[in-house]
Amino acid sequence: MHLKLNISILILSLLLLQTGTDDFRSRVIFKKQKVTKWALRSYQKHFNGKCLELEIKEVTVYAFSIENFKRSPEEVDTLMTLAREKFAKVMEEKDKLMEKGVKLQVIGNIKLLPEDLQKSIADAVILTKNNEKSVLNVAFAYTSRDEITNSIKTIAEGINEQDLEADDLNHSLIDQCLYTRQCRDVDLLVRTSGEMRFSDFLLWQTQSTVFYFTEALWPEFTLWHLLAAIFYYQRCYIRTKILKSYFQEKTPTISDNKRVVNFLSKVDKQRYQELVEIQKSRVV
Amino acid sequence: MNFSLLKLLWIIAHLLADVLETIFYFGLEFRENFFNFIKKYTKSSWNHDSSDQRHQIELHLKNIKKIPKHLAVILNADSEKDIDLMQLTNLVDWSLISGVNFISFYDYKGILKNQLASSFHKFIQQHCTNNTDNENIVWGLNFQHMTDNDGIKFPHRNGFKRHIVVNIYSSEDGHEKFDQLLRRELLSDKGSSGKTVDCSKFTIDYIDEELSKLYGQMSDPDLTVYFGNICCTMGFMPWQIRLTEFIQISYKLRTLSLDKYLKVLYKYAKCEQRFGK
């Protein structure tokens, strides 16, 4: 029972699901841009630092789904401009970021984004890649189905280049080729605004994740809501531990297969190389 | 405030929650035993009257605007005794009347699929024939070894008869299904057409199609109901649940009732999907 009370052991990675900014529109009518800014500010106000204090090592936010490209062009433009500003600010405050040891990762199909945004993402990711204290994953141009498809494609390339053989194919290889390959397991998923679905977010990674719903809209979400979510997670802790160990037994281990390990490190290198190329393309 | 003081408060909150939870459990047990006790002595009046239930559901259906096409049930079960086949049969029965086309039962350990499948099959056949036409129940792929059919056999569309496809799943049908997909896609191709696999063919639609071949004819679950206080997919169909609504139906399988089922349908009907817009 005492384990249940120790916050620092339990929360390794916490995941927040943001429905987007239009949750707020339904209740209060504001200018769209204003709302988005508000949402970002609320993130800064309540999360930067707080999660570290609570010893939450990893936070993932769903910022922009591939499906969101379906919104009106002006709205997409506004969101992109905001993202640009945000990443530019990250670079401005890079000393602070490095001092805090925050590792920033962007998960998603960033090739779908405007080129200049890709560059600023690459800049920020490469800059912080060696930080270890805490991790902030931003899901940008992300859907889980796209991620799984991409993972299968990566494996297919591995087969074509004869890095992999028939015996190596299993679902834990898919797991290892996802965008979240470097992330910890997700323990808690928070969904705001009273919705009760995943909306194509981390479907593959959440088999033993506790799903927490809250009626609060994202801009209203405060530290108290976060604490309530953590409390709920701790109440469910024993159950999730059973699930986790069950699934772990079922997952084939690939760490002792040398061929697969080599293949994965090659994938890592390739992905890093792609980022470097995006970063360099600015000079041209 | 001092940090250790906060920690102490946190611990006290947990203890309080423990106490409340225990009281709640006792209350639940007590209520159940109490009703069972009454049921025993007044057997005739407490028996499930199926035509009455049908009537009740039909009355409510007039107010419910949206019915899930595919209902999935995640069972929070660790052993056989956690699964009450009678309640599951009730769920099939109610869903059939409400117009649900697919119902899937999932427990991560595969107790239902591996140990109870044949008794579940018999159970449904026995109980549902009383109320509804047996022809209306179509057995899903995981029942095939019992019904000796190849593929899902849909009834002929004579008249306006409804049907429901009943299926059972375990964690083998979740992530592990992708093992099959990988082998099929990457190895069979290689053998037939020479050396390389065409990587560009892997699009979301393509994988969706290939997976649906493995799962048999099925639409993505629209609504998933779960038991207990923990909402977790437990590895249920990672590809298909992207737009599925998760709603708690009851605390325990044993305490499930028609009222609770209808409440979930009402709640589902209120959900609005925006598809990214």
Tell me the CATH number of domain A6-280, given options 3.40.1180.10, 2.130.10.10, 3.60.20.10, 3.20.20.100.
Answer: 3.40.1180.10
> Residue B138: which of B66, B218, B74, B213 has the closest Cα?
B218
B276 CB near a chain A CB, below 8 Å?
yes
Residue B151 forms contact with A (CB below 8 Å): no
Beta-carbon count within 10 A of B236 CB: 26
Q: Kindly determine whether residue A210 and residue B231, on different chains, have CB atoms separated by under 8 Å.
A: yes
Residues of B with Cβ-Cβ distance to A236 under 8 angstroms: 229-230, 232
B272 touches chain A (CB under 8 A): no
Provide the pLDDT for residue B255: 85
What is the interface pTM, i.e. ipTM, of the complex?
Answer: 0.84
Domain boundaries of chain B, sorted by first residue:
7-42, 47-270
Other CB atoms within 10 Å distance of the CB of residue A61: 17
* Residues 65-124 of chain B whose Cβ lies under 8 A from any Cβ of chain A: 78, 108-109
**Are the Cβ atoms of B186 and A156 closer than 8 angstroms?**
yes
Q: Does B13 reach chain A within 8 Å, measured CB to CB?
A: yes
B10 part of contact set with chain A, CB < 8 Å:
yes
Q: Using the predicted structure, report yes or no on whether residue A14 has a pLDDT greater than 80.
A: no
B179, closest residue in chain A (CA to CA): A170
The structure's pTM equals 0.85
CB B75 within 8 A of CB B227: yes
What are the tokens at A279? 């970063």
DSSP letter for each residue of chain A: -GGGG-HHHH-SEEEEE---THHHHHHS---HHHHHHHHHHHHHHHTTTHHHHTT--EEEEEEEEGGGGGS-HHHHHHHHHHHHHHHHHHHHTHHHHHHHTEEEEEES-GGGS-HHHHHHHHHHHHHTTT--SEEEEEEEEE-HHHHHHHHHHHHHHHHHTTSS-GGG-SHHHHHHTSGGGGSPPP-EEEE-TT--S-SSSSTTT-TTPEEEE-SS-GGG--HHHHHHHHHHHHHTHHHHHHHHHHHHHHSPP-TT-HHHHHHHHHHHHHHHHHHHHHHHTTT-
Residue A138: the pLDDT is 83
pLDDT per residue of chain B (277 residues) written in tens, 0 to 9: 566 787 788 888 888 998 998 898 888 888 878 877 887 776 554 445 667 888 889 899 998 989 999 999 999 888 888 898 989 999 998 998 899 999 999 999 999 998 888 889 888 888 765 555 555 788 887 776 665 555 555 555 444 567 888 999 999 899 999 998 998 888 875 555 556 788 888 999 999 999 988 888 788 999 999 998 899 999 999 999 989 999 999 888 888 889 999 999 999 998 766 666 5
Residue A170: pLDDT over 60: yes
Contact B239/A69, CB-based, under 8 Å?
Answer: no
User: Angle, to 10 degrees, between the axis of helix B85-98 and the axis of helix B117-131?
Assistant: 50
pLDDT confidence of residue A20:
43
The three-state secondary structure class of B235 is: coil
CB-nearest partner of B242 from A199, A211, A246: A199
User: Which of the residue ranges A68-77, A95-104, A132-141, B33-42 would you say has the lowest mean pLDDT?
Assistant: B33-42
Q: Architecture of domain B47-270 in CATH?
A: 3-Layer(aba) Sandwich (3.40)
Handedness of CA A265, A269, A274, A275 (dihedral sign): positive
pLDDT, residue B170, reads 92
Residue-wise pLDDT for B222-250, tens only, equals: 999 999 889 999 999 999 998 999 999 98
pLDDT band per the 50, 70, 90 thresholds, residue A188: confident
